[in-house]
Amino acid sequence: MKLSIERSALLKAVSQAQSVVERRNTIPILANLLIEAEGEHVHFRATDLDIEVVDRAMAQVERAGATTVSAMTLHEIVRKLPDGALVTLTEDSAAGRLTVEAGRSHFNLATLPREDFPVMASSEYASNFSAPAPVLRRLFDKSKFAISTEETRYYLNGVYMHVAESDGGKVLRCVATDGHRLARIDADLPEGAADMPGVIVPRKTVGELRKLLEDDDMQIAVSVSETKVRFATPDITLTSKVIDGTFPDYTRVIPQGNTRKMEVDARDFAHAVDRVATVSSERSRAVKMALDEDRLVLSVNAPDSGAAEEELAVAYGDERLEIGFNAKYLLEIASQVDRENAVFLFNSPGDPTLMREGNDTSAVYVVMPMRV
Amino acid sequence: MPALCRDCLTTFDAGARCPACASRRVAAHPELFSLSIAHMDCDAFYASVEKRDNPDLADKPVIIGGGARGVVSTACYIARIRGIHSAMPMFQARRLCPEAVVIPPRMEHYAAISREIRAMMQEMTPAVEPLSLDEAFMDLGGTARLHGAPPAVMLARLIRRMRDELGIAGSIGLSHNKFLAKIASDLDKPHGFSVIGQADTDAFLRDKPVSLIWGVGATSRAALERAGIHTFADLLRWDRSDLHARFGSMGERLWTLARGQDTRRVSANHPVKSISNETTFATDTADPDVLDGHLWRLAEKVSDRAKARDLAGRVVTLKLKTADHRLLTRRHSLRDATHFADTIYRAARDLYDRGGASAGPFRLLGVGLSDLCPAAQADRSGDLLDPAATARHATERTTDAIRRRFGAQAIRKGRSLR
C-alpha cells in the first residue's frame, strides 16, 4: 500500500476514528486503525467491538492495500506535522512496517496484519431513513445530559430512540433518564422511519455521533435494526451495537396533572440558582424554591458553610409553594432552553415537576424534587 | 547524620553505638529531627497484655482468639514463628502449633490499657488519631519548643514509658505523612523505630508492592495486576487521568500515594467512616433463602446503627467469605445517601445476585455502609422509575416508630424470619 494525502484531510479522518479507540487496551489490535487504500480513497477504520467508525478521505493511491497501525501514535504524528504538508504512507509488508513521510520528517511504525482486525459483522437493517443533521443534533443534545451512569440499571445508560405517538401524529422521539430527571425530545418523523424498532443508543455512541452532526446542511443516513444502529454521512460511517435491554415505560413518569405554573427567564433563573448554590459544600446541593404571587425566592441553607437567598420576578399565580431541587439538575434543564421562557409545572413538593420551553411540548423535562 | 539513643534518649551525630550508654538501639536518619508525623503500633498487643499479667506465659506461644469457628485475633511473636498470624482460622492455628496457649480475648481489659497509652500520647500532642485499641497516628508538628525536644525523642520516650509503666512494647514509624508513617511502623517490628524521610521516599517506594497501601486488598490487587501494576514503579508510569478512568476514586488516591504524597491530616476526633455488620454461619451455606434472610437482617442492623447515630451512607458493601476462605467484597455507590434498610438491602441483594451468588457456599456474609454523611442529607429525592420506593420508605419509618415504642421485636419483616 502506498498513498499520499493532504495533512488536514488525514488529521480529520484519523482523529475522528481514533476517538473510538479505548485508551487502555489489553488486546493490541484494538488499539490500531485499519487503513485501507483503493481507487481514489483511503478508509480509516477503528473499533472498540461495540462501536465501529469508518472515515473516508480523498487520497492519491499509488498502490492499493491495507494494514493496521497504532491509532494514537498515528494521530499524534499527524497532529504534530505542519499544516499543509503532504503526507505519504507506505507499507512495507515484508518488514511489517508503515512509513509516514512528510517533508523532512520520517517515521517508521510497527503494524499488525489487517486480517487480525475485527470488522463488525454487517447486519440487515429493518429501517433506513435520512434525517437532517440539525434535527438529530437537537434530539441527542437535549436528552444526553439525563443519561444514567449507574451500572445496575444498564438499560438507562443511553438514549432511547424510537417512534412514538404525539397529538395523534407519529414522531421520532429520544428519551433519557437516570431516575432523577428525564428528557423527552420529539422531532418530525422522517420519511421511511415509521417502522423503526426502538433502540437504546449507548452513551459513548451518542458522544461519537455528535461529531457527524456539526454541518447544518448535512443529511444523515440512519439505519436501525434490533441490535445495531448506523449513522452515516458520505465520509463517515458510525455503526454501534445498541444496549440489549428494555427501556422502562417512561410515559407513566411524565406528570399529566401538574397545574401550578411558573414562567421564568431561563438564563436569569440558571444564574440565580448557580449563585445561591455556591454556599453549599454538600455533594448534592439542594436549592429551595419558594413561590408566591409572581415572586420566586431561591435559597440555600447549609448549616456548616452558610446560607444564600435571591429573589426573582416570575409569572406565578397559584397558591404558595415551597419545593426543593438538586441545583445541578435545575441548571442542566434550564440550560436546555434556548428560545423562550422556561415554564415549570409543579404539583406537590414531593411529586415530579415538569419543565418545557414556552408552550412547546416537543421538548419536555421531568425532575424529581428533593427534600429541603 | 542526626542520631538518637532509644534507651537513654541521648541525641548525637552518627555512630552505631550511643556515646553515653553504649547501647546499640540507635535511630539515625538525616531527617530524624525534622519529621513529625508518627504511627505507633503496639507489638502483639493482646498477647503482650496476657503475658504481662501472667508471667508463666512469657516463653510460651500465646494466641488470642476463640470460638469453634473463630479466627486468631493476635498471636505472640513466639507463635508467629510457627507461622500463625492474625485472621487465621483457629483450627489451622491449632494444627500448626498444638501446644499454643489459646486465650479468649478480654476486650474491656485491653481497652483500659489502651486508654492509658492514649493518655500518654495525648500528653505529647492533642493530635492523636487512634485507629484501633493498639495503634494510633500522632502529629507532633510544632511541639518541639513546648517539649524542649524534637518529635523523634518524644516518641522514643513514649515507647520507653509504655514499657516501663505498662509493660507493653510498641513500634514507631516516623515520616512526613500518615501513609508513610504507617508503613514505617511495620518495617522493623517488634520494638521498631523506622524513619522514612522526604528525600528517601521515592527510592523507598519504588520496588515495593502496591499491596502495601492500606485498603488494597486481594481484589484491588488483582485488578491492579490485570493492568500490569505490581509495584509503585509501575504506578508511576500511569497518567493521573488514566488511573482515574480505570480505577475511579481509588485511582486518584493511587496516583498521589505512588508519589509518596498523602495530605490527610491526623485528626483527633475522626468521624465514623463506615458501619458494617457481618455474620459467620454455623455451617457453610449456599441456600439462597437462608442467605437472603441474613442479608435482610444485616442490612437492618446496619440501618439501625446508622439511624441511631443520625448518619447515612452512599456506598453499600457486600462481603462474602467462601468455604475455602476466599474473601469477596463488592461495592455499589448509590446516587443518594441512605439509611433505609430497604435501600441497603436492595443494593446488597443486587451485588449478591450479580457478583457473588455463583461463588458459594459461604461461611461468612457481611453488609456495610460507608461514605457517610449526616442523615439530613440522605434519601432526599425519590426515584422517578420506582414510585413504590416512597411507600416502602414510609412503611419503614412507621415500623421504626413502632419498634421504638414497643421494642425491636414488636414488628418484623417476614423476610427476616428465614
Confidence of residue B278 (pLDDT cuts 50, 70, 90): confident
Instruction: Return all residues near B340 (Cβ < 8 A) that are at least 6 apart.
Output: B303, B379, B392, B393, B396
- Give the CA angle between residues A76, A82, A84 to the nearest 5°: 120
Instruction: Return all residues near A6 (Cβ < 8 A) that are at least 6 apart.
Output: A84, A85, A86, A87
| Amino acid code (one letter) for A36 | E
Q: Is B408 an interface residue toward A (CB < 8 Å)?
A: no
Q: Is A246 an interface residue toward B (CB < 8 Å)?
A: no
Report which of A282, A344, A342 is spatially closest to residue A318, judged by C-alpha positions.
Answer: A344
Q: Is residue B234 within 8 Å of B346, Cβ to Cβ?
A: no
Q: Which residue has the cell 486503525?
A: A33
Q: Which residue has the cell 483450627?
A: B91
Stretch B82-105: mean pLDDT:
88
Please return the burial class of A332, using the count of CB atoms within 10 Å of its CB with bins 0-12, 13-18 and 19+: middle
Q: Taking each helix axis from N to C terminus, what angle separates B341-351 and B388-406, rounded to the nearest 10 degrees?
A: 120
Is the pLDDT assigned to residue B270 strictly greater than 70?
Answer: no
The pLDDT tens digits of the residues spanning B191-244 come to: 999 999 999 999 999 999 988 887 777 777 888 888 889 999 888 888 888 888
pLDDT of residue A260: 95
The pLDDT tens digits of the residues spanning A65-93 come to: 999 999 999 999 999 999 999 999 999 98
Residue of B nearest to A285 (CA): B377
> Which one has a higher pLDDT value, B118 or B251?
B118
Beta bridge mates, B394: none
Q: Is A333 an interface residue toward B (CB < 8 Å)?
A: no
Say if the Cβ atoms of B335 and A179 lie within 8 Å: yes
CA distance A102 to A105: 5
Report which of B16, B40, B56, B62 is spatially closest to residue B160, judged by C-alpha positions.
Answer: B40
CA distance A266 to A336: 9
CA distance B119 to B117: 5
pLDDT of residue A9: 94
Q: Is residue A71 within 8 Å of A17, Cβ to Cβ?
A: yes
B135 included as an active-site residue: yes
Is the pLDDT assigned to residue B155 strictly greater than 80?
Answer: yes
Q: Which three cell numbers stand for residue B290?
A: 437462608
Which residues in chain A are contacts of B389 at CB distance < 8 A? none
Partner B, chain A 4-23, Cβ-Cβ below 8 Å = 23
Confidence of residue B31 (pLDDT cuts 50, 70, 90): very high
Q: Which three cell numbers stand for residue A162?
A: 424510537
pLDDT of residue B66: 72
Q: Is A286 an interface residue toward B (CB < 8 Å)?
A: yes
CA of B370 vs chain A CAs: smallest distance (Å): 15
Say if the Cβ atoms of B335 and A178 lie within 8 Å: yes
Confidence of residue A241 (pLDDT cuts 50, 70, 90): very high
Is the pLDDT assigned to residue B373 strictly greater than 90?
Answer: no
The pLDDT tens digits of the residues spanning A160-203 come to: 999 999 887 999 999 999 999 999 999 999 999 999 999 999 99
Q: Which residue has the cell 404558595?
A: A320
| Amino acid code (one letter) for B393 | H
Instruction: Return all residues near A95 (Cβ < 8 A) that are at least 6 apart.
Output: none
Q: Which three cell numbers stand for residue B333?
A: 455507590
pLDDT of residue A151: 80
Indicate which of A26, A155, A283 best probes the interface with B, i.e. most B CBs within 10 Å of its own CB: A283
Report which of B10, B397, B8, B331 is spatially closest to residue A371, judged by C-alpha positions.
Answer: B397
Handedness of CA B394, B400, B405, B410 (dihedral sign): positive
Which residues in chain B are contacts of A24 at CB distance < 8 A? 227, 242, 245-246
CA distance B77 to B416: 43
> Which one has a higher pLDDT value, A227 or B309?
A227
| Amino acid code (one letter) for A350 | G
Stretch B252-271: mean pLDDT:
84
CA of B247 vs chain A CAs: smallest distance (Å): 12
Stretch A108-137: mean pLDDT:
92
Q: Which of B31, B129, B135, B396 is catalytic?
A: B135
CA of A4 vs chain B CAs: smallest distance (Å): 34
Q: Is B383 an interface residue toward A (CB < 8 Å)?
A: yes
Stretch B7-12: mean pLDDT:
91
Which residues in chain A are contacts of B390 at CB distance < 8 A? 350
Strand pairing class (A127-132; A236-241): unpaired
Which residues in chain A are contacts of B336 at CB distance < 8 A? 284
The pLDDT tens digits of the residues spanning A23-37 come to: 777 788 999 999 999
pLDDT of residue A144: 95
CA distance A145 to A147: 6
Residue of B nearest to A148 (CA): B335
On average, the pLDDT of chain A sits at 93
CA distance A323 to A298: 10
The pLDDT tens digits of the residues spanning A6-25 come to: 999 999 999 988 889 987 77
Instruction: Catalogue the long-range contacts made by B237-241 (C-beta closer than 8 Å, 24 or more residues apart).
Output: none
Q: Cα torsion for A273, A274, A278, A282, to the nearest 10°?
A: 70
pLDDT of residue B63: 92
Identity of the residue in B335, B377, B386 whose CB atom sits nearest the CB atom of A282 = B377
Say if the Cβ atoms of B381 and A370 lie within 8 Å: yes
Please list the helix, strand and coil fractions of chain B in percent, rounded to the nearest 5, in that order: 40, 25, 35
CA distance A181 to A350: 14
Is the pLDDT assigned to residue A328 strictly greater than 70?
Answer: yes
Q: Is residue A182 within 8 Å of A365, Cβ to Cβ?
A: yes
Q: Which three cell numbers stand for residue A78?
A: 499527524
Identity of the residue in A253, A286, A371 whose CB atom sits nearest the CB atom of B385 = A253
pLDDT of residue A100: 96
Convert A183-202 into a string of H (helix), E (strand) and C (coil): EEEEEECCCCCCCCCCEEEE
The pLDDT tens digits of the residues spanning B324-344 come to: 878 888 999 888 899 999 999
Is the pLDDT assigned to residue B359 strictly greater than 80?
Answer: no
CA of B386 vs chain A CAs: smallest distance (Å): 8
Q: Is residue B384 within 8 Å of B323, Cβ to Cβ?
A: no
Q: Is B353 an interface residue toward A (CB < 8 Å)?
A: no
Identity of the residue in A150, A253, A286 whose CB atom sits nearest the CB atom of B335 = A150
Is the pLDDT assigned to residue B137 strictly greater than 70?
Answer: yes
Is the pLDDT assigned to residue B271 strictly greater than 70?
Answer: no
Confidence of residue A47 (pLDDT cuts 50, 70, 90): very high
Identity of the residue in A23, A153, A369 whose CB atom sits nearest the CB atom of B242 = A23
Indicate which of A284, A288, A305, A354 best probes the interface with B, i.e. most B CBs within 10 Å of its own CB: A284
Which residues in chain A are contacts of B382 at CB distance < 8 A? 350, 368-369
Stretch B269-297: mean pLDDT:
85
| Amino acid code (one letter) for B94 | R
pLDDT of residue A259: 94
Cβ burial A335-355 (10 Å sphere, 16+ → b, else e): ebbeeebbbbbbbebebbbbb
Which residues in chain B are contacts of A153 at CB distance < 8 A? 385
Which residues in chain B are contacts of A326 at CB distance < 8 A? 381
Residue of B nearest to A248 (CA): B385
Gap between the terminal Cα atoms of chain B? 67
Is the pLDDT assigned to residue B379 strictly greater than 70?
Answer: yes
Q: What percent of chain B has a predicted confidence (pLDDT) above 70?
A: 98
Please return the burial class of A171, using the count of CB atoms within 10 Å of its CB with bins 0-12, 13-18 and 19+: middle
Is the pLDDT assigned to residue A284 strictly greater than 90?
Answer: no
Say if the Cβ atoms of B384 and A253 lie within 8 Å: yes
